[in-house]
Amino acid sequence: MKRLISAALLLTSALGATAHAQGADQGLVDPAGERVNQLIVYGDDPCPKSDGNTITVCARKEEQERFRIPRPFRDNLESPANRSWTDRVKAYETVGSFGTNSCSAVGGGGATGCLTKLIDRAYAEKKNGPDVQFGQMIEEERAKRLSTIDADTAAEQARVEQIEREYEARLKRERDGVPAPAPVPAPAPAPQQF
């Protein structure tokens, strides 16, 4: 058991270092096609700012968590003390079940349900895991970014319409042979905030 835990810790630290090195260089690309930089910061460490091409999401943990073993590896989720009553009662429902899709050694085809049971358990752990849920944080950041899109679009539309009016007026003056008045500077586009 100790070998399994130490192997898992080594694998996690190696994967974490690799992911951190890769994430710092290129970032991840989410299904919407945007680059996403996911970081865990500790204590009062600052979160890097997002630039125009990348959504930066920081999960903040307490300072004392900085050098600790991650919580999923610290706690034994399978111990009876950590199981809810609902899970204990569900265990009684499977007593005596055997045969096809039962994940038991009894009966013909008893092993056929083990993969389904393993997949269901993995999804439940992922859904209820105590670790950081970056997907939700990315969606919040995307909603914040998209909340200003209407105002930015309206400002850009007004600027384009002003340029079109000036162009039409210039064309009309050229057709009529009227000299052009002094140029009026176009309004500057609104700065985009990310």
Closest of 182, 185, 59 to residue 132, by C-alpha: 59
Residue 83 DSSP label: -
Place of tokens 């005596």: 96
Which has more confidence, 100 or 60? 60
Least confident of 20-34, 135-149, 156-170, 172-186: 20-34
**For 137-163, what is the mean pLDDT?**
87
| Predicted pLDDT at 89 | 79
Mean pLDDT along residues 52-76 = 84
Alpha carbons 169 and 9: distance in angstroms, whole number: 71
Please say whether the beta carbons of 160 and 187 come within 8 A. no
What is the model's pLDDT at position 92? 74
Q: Would the pLDDT of 36 be above 80?
A: yes
Average pLDDT over residues 174-189: 72
Tell me whether residue 179 is exposed, middle or buried, using C-beta atoms within 10 angstroms of its C-beta: 0 to 12, 13 to 18, 19 or more: exposed
- Span of 54-68, 77-91, 161-175 with lowest mean pLDDT: 77-91
3-state DSSP assignment of residue 162: helix
Predicted local distance difference test score (pLDDT) of residue 87: 79
Cα 183 to Cα 163: distance, rounded to the nearest angstrom:
12
Q: Specify the pTM.
A: 0.36
Mean pLDDT of 150-167: 91
Q: Check pLDDT > 70 for residue 146.
A: yes
Structure confidence at residue 176 as a pLDDT band (50, 70, 90): confident
Straight-line distance from the first to the last Cα atom of the chain, in angstroms, rounded to the nearest whole number: 47
Whole-number pLDDT of residue 20? 43
**Contact residues for 141 (Cβ-Cβ < 8 A; gap 6+):** 50, 55, 56, 57
Banded model confidence at residue 46, pLDDT cuts 50, 70, 90:
very high
